[in-house]
Structure 1
Amino acid sequence: MIDHLTERQEQIVRCIREWVAERGDYPSLSEIGGCVGLSSKSAVHYQLHRLEARGVVVREAGQPYRLAW
């Protein structure tokens, strides 16, 4: 795991990794929120934006966030 991630950010990374392993695609904001206990899409987006700034996730226009590695 990347050093200095918050517990919530680690939960999100773990959620994305497990989702992809089980389903073969990337989760939506709502699905990530359900996985980590966030009911607000804006709260999920905020955390993903912070992870993107750290290079942990990437996003292309019109595509879901995905892990950078």
Structure 2
Amino acid sequence: MDVTINCDIGESYGIWKMGNDEEIMPHIDLINVACGFHAGDPNEMSKTIKLAKLYPHIKVGAHPDLPDL
């Protein structure tokens, strides 16, 4: 049986840090990058995509948010 590990990631925002993306990245198969509003910001999105490129096995998806702030 194959298992795919999926993770919501890149949820830091400005000076607020959430999670440790660098440590978990090698262990996951698919990431959903936070796309702003209540999690993530443009700098964090860019940083997360660059980090994911270091691991060719990772597939990248978007995790769009609602404007709920």
Q: TM-score range by the shorter chain?
A: 0.3 to 0.5
TM-score of the aligned structures, taking structure 2 as reference length:
0.34
Larger proportion of strand: 2
Greater relative contact order structure (CA < 8 Å, 6+ sep): 2
TM-score of the aligned structures, taking structure 1 as reference length:
0.34
Larger proportion of helix: 1
